[in-house]
Amino acid sequence: MADSLVPKHGGEVHEFSAHTVEAQERQARLMQQMEAQRRARTIAVPTLDADVRSKLRKIGRPITLFGERPENRRDRLRKILAEVSSLVFWTMRVCLLLAAMSCFPAQRRLGGWTGVVLL
């Protein structure tokens, strides 16, 4: 594993600065938020308030927050479902990556993943 971190061309390995790492992490968080918002727009939620409350009850969330109106409750349900959907999506990607890594031990030993691409 450590051998794969050494450049093959004989060049030096440089660490990213703390500022660069922080910027990359900030961008990753923003990308995740944008993805969650995109998913939230595509999730179908019930329009009847009783159905929205029932769905919130089923997933163990508060049925009504103080001062919350039906349209706010519906938006909150959509946001919760988008978060759950995003979590399931990323969990599945990690599982697929781990499965791919275990299926190709010879490529892993050789230090290259030439044909494995997960979208």
CB 63 within 8 A of CB 56: yes
**What's the rounded mean pLDDT across residues 65-78?**
92
Comparing 105 with 29, which gets the higher pLDDT?
A: 29
pTM: 0.52
Pick the range with the lowest mean pLDDT from 2-6, 10-14, 52-56, 100-104: 2-6
Query: Does 89 have pLDDT greater than 80?
Result: no
pLDDT score, position 99: 77
**Is the model's pLDDT at 58 over the cut of 50?**
yes
Q: How many helical (H) and strand (E) elements, i.e. helices and strands, does the chain have? A: 4, 0
